[in-house]
């Protein structure tokens, strides 16, 4: 029973981070229809950069957090304009677009991973920040995890409110649910897609800083995050932003509880089994529906 | 005149076959190893193109079936005879792909890609869990063989040739090939024409996967140690996709032009720039999608289209 609760709390804390990361990818895939496998590499790059800034220049990770958003946004913007938008122009169908962005971003992720290896080397790095234990319901967790959770949730809520309450956010939601309709009502869909993509990248950058506070890092760490984000998007429904938030927490909880009850080896089995089952039974996601 | 061209073509092919058969006898073992890589990837790429290249359902499940073949040979290769084990690997691939295919071929595009990838990973993690937690093994030694480079080559050469023939005959002579291409171009229209798209897709998927499993079983005879991460390595899936796309899927012999360059490039990079190998490989992937979206064999058509398109009339472009 204790394992269950501990797993649940730990899983929800992790779930907050997952939800944020998935939200970022959803902005890119749901709106711009790009399968961006470099999402995890953004996370990796900013995580390791935060590490370097903290250990070498003594820059507070929270400061890095604030800086990372705009910087990652800019990088995402450039990446979209330089590569992905060109692919969109020349793809004859959405399926071809998925295939070509898959291959291109896969190749790009190779490049980024290995640049990371060249810069930071292959050994595992971690730094200690806010590592005081905090007591929740009798279980102890590190303060930094808690901070990450709070920040991730705040960011997610902020983005969600942005999507719901602002004109721009509504335009994004419109483009994600019906591109032709969005064009029809006069939305500059190209601009929206570019900004969405860049926003998604900005989220990834910030998530990277958050990850660096919690976990050990090495240049190949990005891959599981990309996969997790993809799985969460599928479960939540591509393009469904609330869905990916909910799915993020769900997957986090499943992983936490499952990992505690069934052991680490089955943890990944559980997650992929969940993906496969959802795709077989409800391909549009648990919360999708179009 | 056409008669003579046909005879020249047949002679050239005969010469090629003789050369390919004699090659391992006259070159060093290193080159035999290289040829083995080439023919292994040729078998995989032609299998992949048979289904995914034609229908447009990009599958990342190559690693799954390849791995099934590998594990079959690892576990039973020394208990049953090698030919029987190879057939058994094919059977496992057949059964597994039949189950998968029937259940999933209503998934489209992106969802299908993710599903095949998730499936491969699921298989890998399940096998890993079973081996580690239930059987307490980290990996297995391959006890069948190991066969010499030449022996494996003489297994892979006919295998790759067979897969190529199946693909080529299907695409050029059989209505089934038309059905596959129709699905690839417009599945709705294909269904309206009366093609049973589900049946066609499942059959092609099963044939493709069975060949991949057989290839996995054969290559294992060159290996000594196997574990789930080696057998179900997702890089194999991605390499196969990249090779097929680089070569081009429009023509049946397309994958040839993707497999040979990429195997050679990998070899070259691995030797000369080992630290930058992955970066350059990644750059190749990007370049392929950026500049060569129809693949190398699609280049003539692509260039012709560019030559003839103008500001006022561009065939094939969206409005």
Tens of pLDDT, residue by residue over B279-302, are 877 887 788 777 777 778 877 777
Interchain pair A279, B285: CB under 8 A: no
Q: How far apart are CA A28 and CA A231, in angstroms?
A: 15
Paired with B225 in beta bridges are: B141
Contacts of A87 in chain B (CB under 8 A): 289-290
Contacts of A99 in chain B (CB under 8 A): 56, 58, 113, 245
Q: Across the interface, which of A90, A110, A227 has its CB nearest the CB of B285?
A: A110
**In the predicted model, is pLDDT for residue B319 greater than 50?**
no
Q: How far apart are CA B111 and CA A234, in angstroms?
A: 8
Contact by Cβ (8 Å): B153, B32: yes
Q: Which two tokens stand for residue A158?
A: 């902020």
Tokens 């959770």 correspond to what residue? A149
Q: Across the interface, which of A35, A104, A230 has its CB nearest the CB of B286?
A: A104
Contact by Cβ (8 Å): A85, A79: no
Band of pLDDT at residue B69, cut at 50, 70 and 90: very high
pLDDT of residue B96: 94
Contact by Cβ (8 Å): B36, B149: yes
CA distance B120 to chain A (A): 9
pLDDT of residue B308: 64
Total Cβ atoms within 10 A of residue A27 = 30
- The separation between CA A221 and the C-alpha centre of its own chain, rounded to angstroms, equals 13
Contact by Cβ (8 Å): A75, A201: yes
Average pLDDT over residues B219-231: 90
Interchain pair B238, A114: CB under 8 A: no
Band of pLDDT at residue B129, cut at 50, 70 and 90: confident
Q: For A101-153, write each residue's pLDDT tens digit.
A: 888 888 898 889 888 888 888 888 888 777 777 776 667 777 888 888 888 88
**In the predicted model, is pLDDT for residue A242 greater than 90?**
no
Contact by Cβ (8 Å): B91, B234: no
Is the pTM value of this prediction over 0.95? Answer: no
Interchain pair B285, A280: CB under 8 A: no
Contact by Cβ (8 Å): A217, A201: no
Range of B16-30, B83-97, B136-150 with top mean pLDDT:
B83-97
pLDDT of residue A7: 79
Q: Across the interface, which of B58, B114, B122 has its CB nearest the CB of A234?
A: B114
pLDDT of residue A290: 39
Q: How far apart are CA A74 and CA A80, in angstroms?
A: 10
Flag whether residue B102 sits within 8 Å of chain A, measured between CB atoms.
Answer: no
Q: Which two tokens stand for residue B23?
A: 């090659």
pLDDT of residue A92: 67
Q: Across the interface, which of B119, B128, B242 has its CB nearest the CB of A103?
A: B242
Q: What is the ipTM of this complex?
A: 0.79
Contacts of B274 in chain A (CB under 8 A): none
* Triad A135, A137, A138: Cα angle to 5°: 65
Q: Read off φ and ψ for residue A141, nearest 5 degrees.
A: -130, 160
Contact by Cβ (8 Å): A134, A140: yes
Closest Cα partner for B301 from B316, B289, B288, B286? B316
User: Which run of H or of E encompasses A134?
Assistant: strand A133-136
Q: Which is more confidently placed, B203 or A259?
A: B203
Band of pLDDT at residue B318, cut at 50, 70 and 90: very low
Q: Which is more confidently placed, B36 or B250?
A: B36
- Reduce the DSSP state of residue A34 to 3 states and report it: coil
| Integer CA distances (angstroms), B259 to A30, B119, B222, in order | 34, 25, 20
Interchain pair A268, B288: CB under 8 A: no
Q: Which two tokens stand for residue B136?
A: 């307490």
Contacts of A275 in chain B (CB under 8 A): 114-115, 118, 122
Alpha helices in A27-120 (DSSP H): 32, 39-57, 61-79, 85-90, 94-120
**In the predicted model, is pLDDT for residue B312 greater than 70?**
no
pLDDT, mean over chain A: 84
Q: How far apart are CA B60 and CA A98, in angstroms?
A: 13
Least confident range of A42-51, A82-91, A155-164: A82-91
The nearest alpha carbon in chain A to B102 belongs to A280
The nearest alpha carbon in chain A to B101 belongs to A280
Average pLDDT over residues A150-158: 89
Q: Which two tokens stand for residue B79?
A: 């208990």
Q: Across the interface, which of A109, A230, A269 has its CB nearest the CB of B122?
A: A269
Average pLDDT over residues A211-229: 86
Compute the Cα dihedral for A121, A122, A124, A129 and give only its sign. positive
Share of chain B above pLDDT 70, in %: 94
Q: N- to C-terminal Cα distance for chain A?
A: 39
Contacts of B289 in chain A (CB under 8 A): 87, 100-101, 103-104, 107
Count CA atoms within 13 Å of residue B192 on its CB side.
4
Contact by Cβ (8 Å): B101, B201: yes
Band of pLDDT at residue B61, cut at 50, 70 and 90: very high
Flag whether residue B186 sits within 8 Å of chain A, measured between CB atoms.
Answer: no
Interchain pair B282, A269: CB under 8 A: no
**In the predicted model, is pLDDT for residue A287 greater than 70?**
no
| Integer CA distances (angstroms), A249 to A183, A228, A229, A257, B193, in order | 33, 12, 12, 12, 45
Q: Read off φ and ψ for residue A211, nearest 5 degrees.
A: -60, -40
CA distance A161 to chain B (A): 28
The nearest alpha carbon in chain A to B124 belongs to A269
Q: For B173-210, write each residue's pLDDT tens digit.
A: 999 999 999 988 888 899 898 988 889 999 999 999 99
Interchain pair B122, A275: CB under 8 A: yes
pLDDT, mean over chain B: 86
Interchain pair B115, A272: CB under 8 A: no
Contact by Cβ (8 Å): B42, B199: no
**In the predicted model, is pLDDT for residue B316 greater than 60?**
no
pLDDT of residue B179: 93
Flag whether residue B284 sits within 8 Å of chain A, measured between CB atoms.
Answer: yes
pLDDT of residue A268: 78
Closest Cα partner for A15 from A194, A228, A206? A228
Flag whether residue B188 sits within 8 Å of chain A, measured between CB atoms.
Answer: no
The residues, any chain, with a CB within 8 Å of residue B36's CB and separated by 6 or more, are B149, B152, B153, B156, B219, B222
User: Which run of H or of E encompasses B197?
Assistant: helix B197-220
Q: How far apart are CA A274 and CA A248, in angstroms?
A: 13
């Amino acid at each position: 029973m204790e394992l269950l609760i501990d797993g649940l709390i730990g899983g929800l804390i992790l779930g907050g981070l997952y939800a944020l990361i998935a939200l970022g990818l959803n902005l890119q895939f749901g709106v711009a229809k790009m399968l961006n496998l470099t999402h995890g590499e953004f996370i990796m790059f900013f995580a390791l950069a935060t590490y370097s800034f903290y250990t070498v220049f003594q820059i507070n990770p929270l400061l890095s957090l604030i800086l990372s958003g705009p910087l990652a946004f800019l990088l995402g913007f450039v990446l979209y304009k330089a590569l992905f938008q060109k692919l969109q122009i020349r793809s004859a169908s959405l399926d071809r677009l998925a295939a070509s962005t898959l291959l291109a971003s896969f190749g790009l992720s190779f490049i980024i991973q290995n640049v990371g290896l060249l810069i930071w080397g292959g050994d595992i790095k971690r730094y200690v920040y806010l590592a005081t234990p905090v007591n929740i319901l009798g279980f102890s967790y590190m303060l930094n995890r808690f901070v990450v959770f709070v920040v991730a949730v705040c960011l997610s809520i902020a983005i969600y409110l942005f999507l719901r309450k602002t004109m721009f956010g509504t335009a994004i939601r419109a483009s994600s649910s019906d591109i032709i309709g969005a064009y029809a009502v006069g939305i500059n869909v190209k601009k929206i897609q570019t900004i969405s993509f860049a926003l998604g990248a900005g989220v990834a950058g910030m998530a990277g800083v958050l990850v660096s506070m919690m976990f050990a890092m090495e240049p190949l760490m990005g891959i599981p995050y990309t996969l997790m984000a993809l799985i969460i998007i599928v479960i939540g429904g591509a393009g469904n932003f609330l869905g990916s938030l909910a799915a993020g927490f769900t997957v986090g909880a499943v992983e936490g509880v499952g990992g505690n009850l069934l052991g680490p080896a089955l943890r990944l089995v559980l997650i992929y089994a969940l993906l496969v089952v959802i795709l077989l039974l409800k391909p549009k996601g648990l919360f999708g529906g179009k | 005149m056409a008669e003579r061209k046909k005879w020249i073509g047949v002679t050239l092919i005969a010469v090629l076959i003789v050369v390919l058969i004699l090659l391992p006898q006259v070159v060093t073992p290193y080159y035999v190893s290289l040829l083995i890589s080439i023919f292994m990837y040729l078998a995989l790429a032609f299998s992949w193109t048979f289904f995914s290249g034609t229908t447009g359902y990009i599958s990342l499940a190559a690693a799954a079936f390849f791995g099934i073949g590998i594990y079959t040979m690892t576990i039973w290769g020394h208990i049953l005879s090698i030919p029987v084990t190879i057939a058994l690997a094919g059977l496992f691939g057949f059964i597994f792909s039949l189950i998968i295919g029937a259940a999933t071929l209503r998934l489209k595009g992106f969802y299908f890609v993710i599903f095949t990838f998730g499936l491969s990973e699921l298989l890998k993690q399940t096998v890993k869990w079973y081996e580690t937690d239930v059987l307490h093994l980290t990996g297995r030694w391959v006890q069948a063989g190991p066969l010499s480079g030449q022996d494996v080559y003489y297994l892979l050469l006919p295998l790759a040739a067979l897969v190529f023939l199946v693909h080529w005959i299907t695409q050029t002579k059989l209505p089934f090939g038309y059905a596959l291409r129709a699905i690839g171009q417009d599945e709705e229209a294909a269904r309206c024409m009366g093609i049973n798209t589900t049946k066609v897709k499942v059959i092609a998927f099963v044939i493709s996967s069975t060949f991949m499993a057989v290839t996995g079983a054969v290559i294992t005879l060159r290996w000594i140690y196997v574990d789930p991460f080696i057998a179900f390595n997702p890089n194999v899936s991605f390499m196969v996709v990249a090779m097929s796309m680089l070569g081009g899927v429009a023509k049946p012999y397309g994958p040839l032009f993707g497999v040979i360059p990429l195997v050679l490039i990998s070899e070259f990079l691995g030797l000369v720039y080992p630290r930058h190998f992955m970066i350059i490989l990644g750059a190749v992937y990007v370049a392929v999608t950026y500049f060569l979206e129809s693949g190398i064999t699609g280049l003539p058509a692509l260039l012709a289209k560019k030559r003839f398109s103008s500001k006022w009339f561009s065939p094939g472009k969206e409005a």
